[in-house]
Amino acid sequence: MGALAAVEVGAVGFAAALTCLYHGMREVMVSNGGFCASGGPYQINPGQVCDSGVAWLTFGGVFAGLFFAGVLAFATYRYDKDISGLPLLLWAALFGALGWNFIELGFDPPATMSGAVGWIICGIVFWLMALGGLIPGLIMLFNSFRQAARPQAERSLFSEPLVRADVNVQAAAPPQSTVATPEFIDPVTGERHGGDGA
Amino acid sequence: MEATVHRLWIWLVVVLTGSAIGVFLGNLVVESMTK
């Protein structure tokens, strides 16, 4: 029960962190054209100064997301070690959500931007990376369910020896008594063995 | 510990409901930070 509660905490935390990161990234793209800076010795273009709230959302989202992804993965392992594919699905959620920002704002860029082809390219790359996690992640999770649905007898296939010798010892032929040949001539030396002269 | 379908479904429901709650809470955080 404790592991399941930790799963819940991890899922809530990861989703909340990803939501913060998603909106933080989106705000920077819409308000600042995709990048911003603050502080330091350099003079910063007024349009590129970071909003402190957005900076907190973005960085907080990244680190909180990593932390809660770890909590979720560890709690899932503790709950049931046969569940697989979760880290790949978290990867897919991250790159899928951020890729959506790139794709949507790439095709409908803010008024201050003349074009956003680079964002579309980034979005396609992000979605390809998300697919790379989504497809194997779903397959692994599906396999976890399929394995769990199998009867116990079928699942113990590899816990028993796969090959056994099918020898019926009772039916084997009895050992034959050796019968000395009456006479044997060695083909190499030509000596005569056995028989009456041996 | 052997997995059972029942346990996996419980896990999946917990993860999905947790994610929905997380998105809701995340939106609340975003609203409070960007105002």
User: B30: which chain A residues are within 8 Å (Cβ-Cβ)?
Assistant: 19-20, 23-24, 57
Three-state DSSP class for A140? helix
Helix (H, G, I), strand (E, B) or coil at A177: coil
Burial class (CB in 10 A: 0-12, 13-18, 19+), A21: buried
Chain B hits for A14, Cβ within 8 Å: 19, 22
d(CA B30, CA A20): 6
The rounded distance, in Å, linking the Cα atoms of A190 and A67 is 89
Q: Does B4 touch chain A (CB under 8 A)?
A: yes
**By percentage, how much of chain A surpasses pLDDT 70?**
84
Q: How confident is the model at residue A192 (pLDDT cuts 50, 70, 90)?
A: confident
Q: Cβ separation of A79 and B27 shorter than 8 Å?
A: no
Q: Is the backbone of residue A145 left (phi > 0), alpha (psi -120 to 50) or beta?
A: alpha
Q: Kindly state the average pLDDT of the residues A31-44.
A: 80
When pLDDT is averaged across residues A67-82 and rounded to a whole number, the result is 93
* Cα(A90)–Cα(A140) distance, integer angstroms: 13
* Residues facing A185 on adjacent strands: A192
A153-161: Cβ within 8 A, 24+ apart: A155/B2
Q: Choose among A54, A56, A80: nearest Cβ to B11.
A: A80
More confident: A176 or A71: A71
Asked if the C-beta of B31 comes within 8 angstroms of chain A's C-beta atoms, the answer is: no
